[in-house]
């Protein structure tokens, strides 16, 4: 799930990324990676809510498209089915999700 809230005071959008418990399965750690953090699996670890949903919120620049994915336990890469678009990954046969702001 992706929620976008455009800020009135800055050229930014507050973006909430959420992965449901059934998607995450038994994973202990979920990272949000993408253009916004140089694909660093330690930069945006998602927080597990009481419901089991993993959540991360970022303020991102508007008028920009960012590629992103989720990494479960440092090994399994997932896309978000709510992404605005998908593009081929430059480093694998997978595709990356895209969020357009």
- pLDDT, residue 20, reads 95
pLDDT value of residue 93: 85
Residue owning tokens 């997932």: 78
Which position has the token pair 């455009």? 6
For the entire predicted model, the pTM comes to 0.94
Task: Give the pLDDT confidence score for residue 92 in this predicted structure.
Answer: 80
Given a cut of 70, the residues of the chain with pLDDT beneath it are none
Output the CATH code of domain 2-100.
2.60.40.10
Q: What pLDDT is stored for residue 91 in this prediction? A: 82
Domain ranges in the chain? 2-100
**For position 49, what pLDDT does the model report?**
95
DSSP-derived secondary structure for 64-96: -EEEEEEEETTTEEE--TT-SEEEE-SSSSSEE
């Amino acid at each position: 799930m992706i929620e976008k809230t455009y800020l009135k005071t800055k050229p930014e959008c507050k973006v909430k990324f959420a992965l449901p418990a059934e998607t995450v399965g038994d994973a202990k750690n979920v990272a949000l990676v993408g253009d916004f953090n140089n694909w660093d699996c330690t930069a945006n670890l998602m927080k597990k809510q009481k419901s089991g949903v993993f959540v991360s919120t970022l303020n991102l620049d508007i008028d920009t498209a960012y590629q992103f994915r989720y990494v479960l336990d440092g090994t399994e890469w997932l896309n978000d089915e709510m992404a605005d678009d998908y593009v081929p990954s430059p480093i694998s046969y997978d595709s990356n999700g895209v969020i357009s702001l």
